[in-house]
Amino acid sequence: MNLEELDKHYVLQTYGRNYTNFTHGKSSTLYDENGKDYIDFASGIGVNSVGHGNEKLVNAICAQASKIIHISNLQVIEPQVKLAQKISELYGQDVAIFFANSGAEANEGAIKLARKYGEVKFDSKKYKIITLENSFHGRTLATVKATGQDSFHPTCFAPYIEGFICTASVQEAIDAIDDETVAVMLELVQGEGGVEAFSKNEIQYLSSTLKEKNVLLIVDEVQTGIYRTGEFLASQVYGIKPDIITLAKGLGGGVPIGAVVTPHKDIFTAGDHGSTFGGNYLSTSAGLAVLGILEDLYKSNKLAETIEYFNAKLEKIASKYPQYFEKSSGIGLMRGLRAKDSETQGKIIKSCMNEGVIVLKAGRNTVRFLPSLTITNSEIDEGFIRLEKALESL
């Protein structure tokens, strides 16, 4: 059997795969088994924040793997402590952090933290969490119910966990608050929901209103965090200080890691939550290397220059091909082009792959772009040349 046949025989078929077999990559360029190169505008769905084969990350992983990969969280883990300290310093807030293995796990931790807060901080229990339409928070039974897209709630997985209220707008979220509401949970830029950014004014209004009502604000920064939007956190772009922030994707540069970040340090106590693999030596050493690379990129202004360069190219595409695209969306290096319809979206993504440039599908018929933050101008140039070829071939 060939690779595709083996995959279909031995791997549960939960993905609509493309069967290009990549063998290696460098920076933002991938190579398949036939030697064909592809410009990577997807970075593993926003995970490979420092690109492929980054020497500093590779060296950090290899050095740690040669010493200790994993022990349990029953012992202190030095790089875990140092990564938590680094996240706190880059955020500029006094916070404590729980480490997990993924975005969904981080959001599960945030939900549990909020529910315990609602148990111990009030005379009567508060447990409801309000979320927004077109949101995406994960694939577990809790986080998929928190996700505000009906397509993620098929009856085959019912009954779902109760306590999540989905609303159509920020104002409706505020209006839906009742005596049992403990938190509002949202993404500042909805990734799977079409790379749609909320306005700064409405988010700041939401944040101040929730503080007045003593309702927690949970910001899912699984995709927006780790400099993806130009600052360390999108919360900094929006000028807010959430009660709970979740991180994952770009934090490990490809090594699985998730994080729950909160100033509410006294809510969880020993035994309330845990993870066998979360925050182990390997993942947190990778996280430290990634943050070192990206902090230097940010301080040198190279990240801002890359964002400006990439987005100028994207806007030219949006204006040049109105027959395919209605508008551009997103901020930083989390961008989208809203296609006219789902058929057009699918054709564009397929044509891009044929031309050797990798882009992603998102909701609202959006073609999504999540390049590595270390992508070079020459790779951006070549990627957009190939994107134009893909559009011209339709």
Cα dihedral: 285, 287, 289, 294 (round 10): -170
**pTM given for the model:** 0.97
pLDDT tens readout for residues 86-140: 999 999 999 999 999 999 999 999 999 999 999 999 999 999 999 999 999 999 9
Q: Which two tokens stand for residue 158?
A: 């019912």
- pLDDT for 261 equals 99
DSSP state for residue 190 in the 8-state scheme:
E
Cis peptide before 371 (omega within 30 of 0): no
- pLDDT for 335 equals 98
Domain match, 155 and 208 both: yes
Domain match, 293 and 309 both: no
Domain match, 98 and 205 both: yes
Q: Which two tokens stand for residue 362?
A: 């998102």
Count structural domains, the chain: 2
User: Which range of residues forms the domain containing residue 197?
Assistant: 68-299
Identify whether 61 is part of a domain.
Answer: no
Domain match, 227 and 308 both: no
Identify whether 17 is part of a domain.
Answer: yes
- pLDDT for 50 equals 98
> What average pLDDT is seen over the chain?
98
d(CA 275, CA 80): 13
Domain match, 88 and 232 both: yes
Domain match, 327 and 282 both: no
Domain match, 320 and 344 both: yes
Domain match, 350 and 289 both: no
pLDDT tens readout for residues 224-283: 999 999 999 999 999 999 999 999 999 999 999 999 999 999 999 999 999 999 999 999
Distances (CA, A) of 375 to 160, 301, 302, 337: 41, 14, 10, 19
Which parts of the chain have pLDDT scores under 50? none
Residue ending a domain, choose from 240, 268, 299: 299
Q: Which two tokens stand for residue 273?
A: 């939550």
Residue ending a domain, choose from 236, 271, 299: 299
d(CA 246, CA 223): 9
Identify whether 235 is part of a domain.
Answer: yes
φ, ψ for residue 99, nearest 5 deg: -100, 135
- pLDDT for 205 equals 98
d(CA 382, CA 380): 6
Distances (CA, A) of 254 to 37, 44, 54, 169, 267: 20, 8, 11, 33, 31
Domain match, 47 and 176 both: no
Domain match, 319 and 269 both: no
Which residues lie across from 99 on neighbouring strands? 259
Residue ending a domain, choose from 299, 328, 356: 299
Q: Do residues 280 and 84 make contact, with C-beta atoms less than 8 angstroms apart? A: no
Host H or E run for residue 327: strand 325-331
Domain match, 158 and 264 both: yes
Identify whether 44 is part of a domain.
Answer: yes
Identify whether 60 is part of a domain.
Answer: no
d(CA 177, CA 183): 9
Identify whether 19 is part of a domain.
Answer: yes
Residue 58 falls in which region: left (phi positive, over 0), alpha (psi -120 to 50) or beta: alpha
- pLDDT for 107 equals 98
d(CA 349, CA 308): 23
Identify whether 79 is part of a domain.
Answer: yes
Domain match, 76 and 149 both: yes
| Domain CATH number, residue 30 | 3.90.1150.10
- pLDDT for 133 equals 98
Identify whether 62 is part of a domain.
Answer: no
CB atoms within 10 A of CB 31: 15
Distance of CA 390 to the CA centre of its chain: 27
| Domain CATH number, residue 222 | 3.40.640.10
d(CA 122, CA 179): 10
- pLDDT for 37 equals 98
